[in-house]
Amino acid sequence: MIDHTGINVSNFEKSKDFYANALAPLGYQLLSESDASVTGSTSVAGFGVGGNPDFWIVQGEVHTPRIHVAFRVETRQRVQAFYEAALEGDGRDNGAPGLRTHYHPNYYGAYVLDPDGYNIEAVCHAPA
């Protein structure tokens, strides 16, 4: 089981705003934030649900090649809400909400590129 993961971002404030907006429909909130005076090196922010930050952004050199992060959600409506919020907040379309039956019959996902070009997905595995 994965406890947490993180990505480096080129513009901390811009990415923090993007993820705060894009992940809000999934129930995620900004739960922790520290700057270099606390960490000793750089700014970090942790997002999560229920008080547990499990997705972190870190000011730093962007990963190459860009990585893919998928957030599992319970409903297709949350996939749609994620997609809309991400596009409103500086995200770029990388695959509108819809079925991806080549994965399995109920795979319903949406993909956006964040400000650094990371492929961020919300996916629901439940039937409609």
Q: pLDDT by residue (tens digit) across 104-121?
A: 999 999 999 999 999 999
Residue 85 exposed, middle or buried by CB count within 10 Å (0-12, 13-18, 19+)? buried
Look up the CATH number of the domain holding residue 22.
Answer: 3.10.180.10
- DSSP sequence for the chain: ----EEEEESSHHHHHHHHHHHHGGGT-EEEEEE-HHHHSS--EEEEEETTEEEEEEEESPPPSSPPEEEEE-S-HHHHHHHHHHHHHTT-EEEEEEEE-TTT-TT-EEEEEE-TT--EEEEEE-S--
pTM of this structure: 0.94
Average pLDDT taken over every residue of the chain: 96
pLDDT digits (tens, 9 = 90+) for 65-79: 999 999 999 999 999
Distance CA 108, CA 31 (A): 28
pLDDT at 37 over 90: no
Supply the pLDDT for residue 92. Answer: 98
- Per-residue confidence (pLDDT) for residue 128, from 0 to 100: 85
pLDDT of 87 higher than 90: yes
Q: Is the pLDDT of residue 52 over 90?
A: yes
The pLDDT of residue 7: 98
- Domain boundaries, position 80: 5-124
Tell me the C-alpha distance between 81 and 75, whole Å: 10
Q: Pull the structure tokens for residue 97.
A: 């909400």
- Number of domain units in the chain: 1
Work out the number of other CB atoms within 10 angstroms of the CB of residue 102: 6
